[in-house]
Amino acid sequence: MAAPMSAAPLVSDPVVSAQDLITGLPLDGRGGWREWTSPITPRQQWNANFGYCGETSLISAGLAYGQYTSQWTARALASPGVPQWRESSQLLLGENDGAAARRMKLQAEPFDTQQQRTTPEFLAWCKQWVQRGAVVILGVFNNVRRLGEPLAGDSVYDHIVPVVAVGSGSDRPYAPDDTITISDNGLYTEGAEVPFLFTESFAAFQGNRRQANAPRGSLYTLRDTPPNYGLAVSGVRDPSGVTVPVRLSASLDGEGLQNQAELRQPPEPLPLSLTARVTIPDPSQAYVLYRYDDFASVPVSGFNAAADQAVQRWLIPPFSGLSAEVSVTGWSDQTVVFRAVPATAA
């Protein structure tokens, strides 16, 4: 078991449907090219046990909302009781992604594949959520030839990736020359380089299975016919809306390389530092920052009433500025969850 984390002192729209996105009013009428970025930093997945791409994508989203966990823990939450070296244990879009997000105390909305008519409709949905500040996670085809993978590939998606940015010069919800940037979670390496980020236009990003495997084709392709699978992570579970934003930055972009076919127990953890940055919406108020070491202990309401469930807390006094930071150190196999609320909240 890893040693406890130590802490440094504290330094002081409604969502519309996919159909509305295609046929409804423009999201942005200002014109000119703009880019909307997701509040995430690319992270590197383990490739053992059929790959931890879904787990890594959800961890990246969690960091944007103030929480960190390991890939091993994320998979255990996605498929409780299933040995992680079994294919059925994976965190997959359209299967157990929503359950995993709930257990990680994240607010997440899956794309409605039942109502989907076209892939542009799905890309418009992705664009909408990124414009609203959410982290979008989607499934893509791999170019199995370029990645040196032995099989022809799945019929729906091979890989799960977070969206890092969307760019557009159009007022329309979807335009062919809109761009999407994904992090491939470090799946592709070029010598000693791990590029992570890949950008395509909406039009060029779409293709069928044969096109996805073209020898000179793109490394990643979005299936060009329904169904497409995606998850929009928009924040923490907090029905009353009392929490204020917390974002985590990490000293490591992964937990080391695990490229063996089978991993039967968690690897040795690595030293890890995390910095939580709290956004203060009203500097005249006092706030409390809580830290938890287990998702089961994290409340979704009554944060101050459940203060004893936290392992640590900090008071942010009034007039401390527009933000506050706290840093903690520990190990990469730990779970660290921060929530910040007004001191006057329930």
Structure tokens, 100: 């995993």
Check residues 151 and 314 and name the one with the higher pLDDT: 314
pLDDT of 37 over the 70 cut: yes
Alpha helices in the chain (DSSP H): 18-23, 53-64, 71-78, 97-103, 119-131, 144-147, 202-205, 209-212
pLDDT band at 193 (very low <50, low <70, confident <90, very high): confident
What pLDDT does residue 192 have? 81
pLDDT of 161 over the 70 cut: yes
Average pLDDT over residues 148-171: 95
pLDDT band at 5 (very low <50, low <70, confident <90, very high): low
pLDDT band at 7 (very low <50, low <70, confident <90, very high): low
Strand partners, 331: 271
Average pLDDT over residues 194-201: 96
d(CA 260, CA 111): 33
Average pLDDT over residues 30-42: 88
Average pLDDT over residues 264-287: 98
pLDDT of 11 over the 70 cut: no
End-to-end CA gap in the chain: 34
Collapsing DSSP to helix, strand or coil, 11 comes out as strand
Helix, strand, coil share (%) of the chain residues, nearest 5: 20, 30, 50
- Phi, psi (deg, nearest 5) at residue 257: -85, 135
- Range of lowest pLDDT (11-20, 52-61, 334-343): 11-20
Buried residues in 109-118 as b, exposed as e (16+ CB within 10 A): bebebeebeb
User: Do the beta carbons of residue 180 and residue 262 sit within 8 Å?
Assistant: no
pLDDT of 146 over the 80 cut: yes
For 257, 270, 293, 296, the CA distances from 253, given in Å and listed in that order, are 11, 11, 20, 25
Instruction: Give the contacts of 130 (CB within 8 A, at least 6 positions apart).
Output: 36, 37, 38, 136, 163, 165, 166
pLDDT of 13 over the 50 cut: no
pLDDT band at 160 (very low <50, low <70, confident <90, very high): very high
pLDDT of 53 over the 50 cut: yes
Max Cα–Cα distance, the chain, nearest Å: 60
User: Do the beta carbons of residue 77 and residue 108 sit within 8 Å?
Assistant: no
What pLDDT does residue 151 have? 86
User: Do the beta carbons of residue 178 and residue 167 sit within 8 Å?
Assistant: yes
d(CA 14, CA 73): 32
Structure tokens, 10: 């504290």
What pLDDT does residue 330 have? 97
d(CA 159, CA 143): 10
What pLDDT does residue 8 have? 52
Per-residue model confidence as pLDDT tens digits over 81-123: 999 999 999 999 999 999 999 999 999 999 999 999 999 999 9
User: Do the beta carbons of residue 262 and residue 317 sit within 8 Å?
Assistant: no
d(CA 193, CA 319): 45
Please choose, from the candidates 293, 253, 270, the residue with its C-alpha nearest in 3D space to the C-alpha of residue 5: 293
What pLDDT does residue 15 have? 34
Structure tokens, 287: 């706030």
pLDDT band at 31 (very low <50, low <70, confident <90, very high): low
- Phi, psi (deg, nearest 5) at residue 156: -115, -55
What pLDDT does residue 150 have? 86
What pLDDT does residue 309 have? 98
Q: Which residue has the tokens 């299967």?
A: 95
Average pLDDT over residues 214-241: 97
Please choose, from the candidates 331, 289, 286, the residue with its C-alpha nearest in 3D space to the C-alpha of residue 312: 289
Torsion of CA 119, 211, 149, 60, to 10 degrees: -30
User: Do the beta carbons of residue 40 and residue 63 sit within 8 Å?
Assistant: yes
pLDDT of 16 over the 70 cut: no
Q: Which residue has the tokens 């008071």?
A: 315
User: Do the beta carbons of residue 339 and residue 303 sit within 8 Å?
Assistant: yes
Q: Residue 227, CB half-sphere, CA atoms under 13 Å: how many?
A: 12
pLDDT of 30 over the 90 cut: no
Average pLDDT over residues 137-141: 98
Check residues 4 and 185 and name the one with the higher pLDDT: 185
User: Do the beta carbons of residue 142 and residue 184 sit within 8 Å?
Assistant: no
Mean of all residue pLDDT scores within the chain: 92
pLDDT of 297 over the 60 cut: yes
pLDDT of 49 over the 90 cut: yes
Please choose, from the candidates 280, 266, 285, 264, the residue with its C-alpha nearest in 3D space to the C-alpha of residue 323: 280
Q: What pTM value is reported for the model?
A: 0.91
